[in-house]
Amino acid sequence: MKLFSSVNDVKDVTALVAEALHLKQDPYAYQHLGKNKTLCLVFLNPSLRTRISTQKAGINLGMNVIVLNIDKEGWALELQDNVIMNGTTVEHIKEAAAVMGEYADIIGVRSFPGLKDREEDYSENIFNKFVEYCGVPVVSLESATRHPLQSLADLVTIQELKTISRPKVVLTWAPHIKALPQAVPNSFAEWMCKADVDFTIAHPAGYELATEFTQGANITHNQNEALKEADFIYVKNWSAYEPYGQVLPGNEDWMLNNKKLEVAPDAKVMHCLPVRRNLELADEILDSARSVVIHEAGNRVWAAQAVLKQMLEAL
């Protein structure tokens, strides 16, 4: 594998999930693959889970790992082409990415959307420029429109915890006070549509995701109907796709609580984290045995390790 930016970069999703679960059983079996190889993780935005789990995954594979918080520690990057750099930017992404490629065998990039200009965000301009100019394999640590390492970990978690062969999985919108990207729900939807699950998306009117990510999903505005007999409920806020990046008024009653879960007595509750308690998800769920959010976050290591292993094997 040379690029991991979406589920479309994966030849065999089932095999990649199996690989992650195999690595969970035997984390250090492939340390020879990463010997004398360098992984550079570049963050343009904050992170806890992605940063540490991907570092840990690289270390487990025997790699040397460098983390650069380029938004705080690097030169201010110019992202546009054909500009006179007489403003605040100091280094063009062409040179910055190419130089990083001289130091690293694999690069990871996190770059959030601005949520102002949909065309710009959905073009994945920043992520694609890293891919174009760095000259080495690139793994997405969450881009403007997708978070594939999260989605792989989510699928690994479902595969591990499911009690029937084809579980019902429901992605349900949750309230939030800030405008959040669509990357996690886009990506989760895209991966679930390729997995052997019965997949439903529930959201209030106005929060439709881009159709390119939801082909094959059942989509409803009726949360209660969607939750019935669910095996996994994935809770996530996102801002509107149209009007782009907006938080629409109302919908506070979409927060998941125990009352809502009465129609899904066996459901396990997932969230990518970080989560705002009692805004997105009630304490009574997060602190109960039904929440698998910590288990899910733990699986981030094995998801990242499976991807890095395939990249190392292709070097």
Contact residues for ligand CP, defined by CB under 6 A:
47-51, 142, 150, 272-274
Coil vs helix vs strand at 115: coil
Which ranges constitute the DSSP H helices of the chain? Answer: 13-25, 31-34, 49-60, 70-73, 93-103, 118-122, 125-134, 148-161, 183-192, 223-227, 283-286, 293-313
For residue 119, give every residue at least 6 positions away whose Cβ sits within 8 Å of its Cβ, in sequence order, or none. Answer: none
300 is in an annotated binding site: yes
Among residues 233 and 264, whose Cβ is nearest to ligand CP? 233
Q: Residue 98, Cβ neighbours under 10 Å: how many?
A: 15
Calpha distance 86→83 (Å, rounded)? 9
118 is in an annotated binding site: no
Min. distance of Cβ 90 from ligand CP in angstroms? 26
Min. distance of Cβ 296 from ligand CP in angstroms? 9
32 is in an annotated binding site: no
Q: Residue 299, Cβ neighbours under 10 Å: how many?
A: 26
- Comparing CA positions, the residue from 146, 174, 172, 120 lying closest to residue 50 is 146
Longest dimension (CA), the chain: 61
Min. distance of Cβ 44 from ligand CP in angstroms? 12
DSSP summary character for residue 139: E
Among residues 49 and 92, whose Cβ is nearest to ligand CP? 49
The three-state (H, E, C) secondary structure of 42-100, written as one string:
EECCCCCHHHHHHHHHHHHCCCEEEEEEHHHHCCCEECCCCCCCCCCCCEEHHHHHHHH
Min. distance of Cβ 86 from ligand CP in angstroms? 34
288 is in an annotated binding site: no
238 is in an annotated binding site: no
290 is in an annotated binding site: no
Calpha distance 101→109 (Å, rounded)? 12
Min. distance of Cβ 32 from ligand CP in angstroms? 28
Min. distance of Cβ 150 from ligand CP in angstroms? 5
Among residues 137 and 148, whose Cβ is nearest to ligand CP? 148
Among residues 100 and 184, whose Cβ is nearest to ligand CP? 184
Among residues 48 and 90, whose Cβ is nearest to ligand CP? 48
145 is in an annotated binding site: no
Among residues 168 and 239, whose Cβ is nearest to ligand CP? 239
Residue nearest to ligand CP (CB): 50
272 is in an annotated binding site: yes
Residues comprising the binding site for N(2)-succinyl-L-ornithine? 142, 176, 236, 276
Residues comprising the binding site for carbamoyl phosphate? 47-50, 75, 110, 147-150, 272-273, 300
Residues comprising the binding site? 47-50, 75, 110, 142, 147-150, 176, 236, 272-273, 276, 300
